[in-house]
Amino acid sequence: MNPITESEALISRPIRKRLLTRTRARRWLRMAFSYALLILITLFCVFPIAWILKTALETPQYIRNPQIQWIPLKFTLQNFIDVIGNPRAMIGRSYLNSFLVASVSTLISTIITVLAGYALSRFSFRGKSAFAIYLLIINMVPGTLILISMFVFLVKIQLVNTHLGLIIYYTAIGLPLAVWMLKSYFDTIPIDLEEQAMIDGTTRLGAIRYVILPLALPGIIAVTVYVFLSHWNEYMAALTIVQAPSLRTLPVQILNFMGFERLDWGPVMAYSVIVSLPVVILFIFAQRRFVGGLTAGSIK
């Protein structure tokens, strides 16, 4: 409610009432307009995702239909059964590959970056700003440049076409962002807590272990999820470093599968649902936290 200003108070009651209804009507109009616009943008964001689901759940002969229907004409799980049973899809194998590569690389990068993020947040030391600037400018180096020399390196140590090679690459590209996000989480934890613990006789590592880690755990989990998702979705290096079909990760394998199924979108969309569902759930569950870390990290 608007507070009634002095000049309004001087106006007689009926007029005041009319003025009030007018502002109220205006406010309603404004709100309706905002909602309409918001719904339009939300539709733009959501319709491709709805379309994945619709295609995946539609009976194959109705998928290529000249009329567009948003509810499946004849609901079926046939596409999912086809994909899971299709040996060319190799869905179980690729799932395992993706999970292995993404989780190992994420684990390594989070463990080593927790300490670095803490150091960046708590200490000032010589070379700190150079270190921080490097973490930012590495973002602008084209992925292809790093990939080319990583590829040469992996060929030399004979790790091309192995999961370990991919894990090394992912660990390297995940580090800068993880350090940066973790630093911003540690910044939000008051420094007094660990100083108190250290006055009480704990060592620095003890303070980190027993005071800081439990407090920062939600943030650390959020960063872990974020890094995991970006490795799970990574395509360029997965396409380049690993060639053997049995070693492929999901993004490469789903495209390969689409190559076989040329224009048969039902199974491909069912595959898409199977690939996306776990990460979408993880994302929704963790997004509030890692969004906080990202914004704090890049805006400060």
Partner 1 sequence: MNALKRKATPYFLILPTLIALIMFSVYPFVSGLWYSLTDIKFIGGVANWVGLENFERLFTGTSSSATYFYKAVQQNFLWTISVILGQLVLGYITALLLNEKLPGRGIFRTLIMLPWAIPSVVMALTWQWMYDPFFGLINYYLKALGLIEKYQIWVGQPNSTIWPQVVVAIWRGLPFMAIMLLSGLQSIPDEMYEAAKMDGASALQRFRFITLPLMRPVTVVVTMLTTMWWWNSFDIQKVMSPVQSLAYNSMTLPLLAWYEAFQWKHLGRGAAISVISLLIMSIFIIFNARRELGNNKENS
Q: How far apart are CA 211 and CA 215, in angstroms?
A: 7
17-36 positions binding partner 1, by CB under 8 A: 31, 34-35
Indicate the residue among 106 and 109 with the shorter CB distance to partner 1: 109
Indicate the residue among 11 and 137 with the shorter CB distance to partner 1: 137
Which residue of 37, 81, 191, 213 would you call a contact of partner 1, by CB under 8 A?
37
Q: Dig out the tokens for 182 from the structure.
A: 């973790």
Indicate the residue among 13 and 271 with the shorter CB distance to partner 1: 271
Single-letter amino acid code for the residue at 92: G
Q: Is 131 in the site for partner 1 (CB under 8 A)?
A: yes
Indicate the residue among 155 and 217 with the shorter CB distance to partner 1: 155
Which residue of 79, 268, 270, 293 would you call a contact of partner 1, by CB under 8 A?
268
69-108 positions binding partner 1, by CB under 8 A: none
Number of residues that bind partner 1 (CB under 8 A): 92
Of the candidate spans 6-14, 21-29, 83-91, 126-134, the one that interacts with partner 1 by CB under 8 A turns out to be: 126-134
Q: What count of other Cβ atoms lies within 10 Å of the Cβ of residue 142?
A: 8
By C-alpha distance, which of 23, 78, 298 is closest to 176?
298
Is the alpha carbon torsion for 91, 96, 97, 102 positive or negative?
positive
Q: Provide DSSP, 214-276.
A: HHHHHHHHHHHHHHHHHHHH--HHHHHH--SGGG--HHHHHHHHHHHTTT-HHHHHHHHHHHH
224-263 positions binding partner 1, by CB under 8 A: 229, 232-233, 235-236, 239-240, 250-251, 254-255, 258-259, 263
Print burial letters for 219-246: b (CB count within 10 Å at least 16), e (below 16).
bbebbbbbbbbbbbbbeebbbbbbeeee
Q: Is 116 in the site for partner 1 (CB under 8 A)?
A: yes
Indicate the residue among 12 and 31 with the shorter CB distance to partner 1: 31
